[in-house]
Amino acid sequence: MGTSSEASGARGAVLYTRVSTGEQAEHGTSLDSQREACLREALRLGLPVVAVCEDAGVSGAMYETRPGIMEVLRLIEGGAASALIVTKIDRIGRSARVILDIADRVERAGGELVTRDVPLDRSPMGRMMRTMLAGMAEMEREAIRERMAGGKRSRAEQGQQPQRSRPPYGYHVVTNAEVDAGLHPPAMRGRYVVDEGKAAIARRIFADYLRGLTLSRIARTLNREGVPPPGDGRGWHPATVNVILTNPAYKGEPVSGRQKCLTDNSRIGQRHKLTGVPLTTPDVRVPAPPEQRLTLSAPALVSAEDWEAVQRRMAQNRQALNGDPRRALMLSGMTVCPHCGGKAVLKYQNANGK
């Protein structure tokens, strides 16, 4: 979330603070402490504070989607402020490319970037120092991510599911807050427990598929009955049903670490191909190698035999679909539509509507 509190007065400094969720978890970094340090620096320099802008719980990998830093640039490029003050250079970004881009925009607008920990200027030595610090900030970002991933894996090796991940439909992962409140014993921290209401729906989905219903029909029926869907509440879809039917958690074997995060800097400044919305991170999630995955335990909602039977039926359906779906048909491409004059062709559609 980005906020700013403007102050009337002469052209002066805009203060910027940022903290990401990961930094809050690992270091307890405080926006308040950053703000106080920046205020002391503005006072030392004799600069009036034009605005205080912040981005709370936001990654520093990109900046175009951060309201706080965009407000900073608007003020400086618009002439309302002449200096940007931060506690450390990594507050404006965790990517070297992002840091240098913001610094260049401030400089082109005639402004100064002031970092409280290391003095920077426009001399060749100052520019070299800025580039080095930007590279170090990016390295630290990778180190933080590796430490967090290592912590997740360590907890997974102890049988604990990461609490920030979304559990499979029909399950709940016991949180620290629930243990602290006495709702569960400490040994249940990060463990799977059954959400009976949703679990009944998950069991029904498996049963319906085993008795021959298609993914589309199962989804339509659940929507018609008003059954709450997983996640964001956008309704049931064949793909939603497919995710449930293929998840080994339902036979009591949830897998941790099925995906890993990679950084693709070419995503910086790009937009989503379908929605056109600016991308918020250069990180992409890809399937992790099998040797990096860990199998945990959970109360089974279906028997291992039924789960395997579902996988066999899905494999058979895929094989039937991919067998020879483009068979040559007599008169294909030769018959003409009497209304538009176009050639009539056969279009195949699978159970997922594709």
**Rounded Cα gap, residues 175 and 166, in angstroms:** 12
Half-sphere exposure of 239 (CA within 13 A, CB side): 4
Burial 241-267 (b: 16+ CB within 10 A, else e): bbebbebbbbbbebebbeeeeebeeeb
Helix axes of 196-210 and 238-245: crossing angle, nearest 10 degrees: 100
Query: CA 8, 14, 17: angle at the middle one, nearest 5?
Result: 130
CB 94 within 8 A of CB 137: yes
Is 20 annotated in the active site?
yes
Helices of type H across the chain:
21-27, 31-45, 67-77, 96-108, 124-157, 176-180, 196-210, 215-224, 238-245, 304-323
Distance CA 342, CA 11 (A): 67
Catalytic residue (choose from 4, 5, 8, 20): 20
Sign for the pseudo-dihedral over CA of 179, 184, 190, 194: negative
Nearest to 109 by CA among 77, 81, 75: 77
List alpha helices for 230-303, DSSP H: 238-245
Q: Which positions are annotated as active-site residues?
A: 20
